[in-house]
């Protein structure tokens, strides 16, 4: 079992920044990749960014150059630094862990961007 807890969401003006945190615990040795997903109003959940246990990263085209994913293994935490936020970034952001036993999800954190 893997537990994930997101934090850091909130309301920000367009052009502003937020940093999301995903604290993970439990059977962390099972984790291959931790990713951030988001689900906007009326939209399907989509991948935003991911980071492997080895530190390799990938990003959705829509966030490249604006968002940065990183991890602090000492704190068992993955971060998503979001800069130059746009109204289209409004969504509930979820942290997901991919393991050999399946995928685990956090509860999500709301990000709202005012124009």
Residue with the bigger pLDDT between 77 and 100: it is 77
How is residue 71 written in tokens? 């991890």
State the pLDDT at residue 101. 87
**Could you give the percent of the chain with pLDDT greater than 70?**
100
Longest Cα pair distance anywhere in the chain, in angstroms? 42
Averaged confidence pLDDT in the chain:
96
66-79 burial: b if 16+ Cβ within 10 Å, else e? ebbbebeeeeebbb
Contact 110, 9 (CB under 8 A): yes
Residue with tokens 């829509």: 62
pLDDT value for 90: 98
Q: Is the pLDDT of residue 40 over 90?
A: yes
């Amino acid at each position: 079992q893997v537990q994930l807890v997101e934090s850091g969401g909130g309301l920000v003006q367009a052009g502003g920044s937020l940093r999301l945190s995903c604290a993970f615990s439990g059977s962390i040795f099972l984790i291959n990749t931790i990713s951030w997903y988001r689900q906007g109003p009326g939209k399907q959940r989509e991948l935003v960014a991911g980071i492997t246990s080895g530190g390799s990263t990938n990003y959705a085209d829509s966030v490249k150059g604006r968002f940065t994913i990183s991890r602090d293994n000492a704190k068992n935490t993955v971060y998503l630094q979001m800069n130059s936020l746009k109204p289209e970034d409004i969504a509930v952001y979820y942290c997901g862990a991919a393991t050999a036993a399946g995928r685990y999800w956090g509860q999500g954190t709301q990000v709202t961007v005012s124009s």
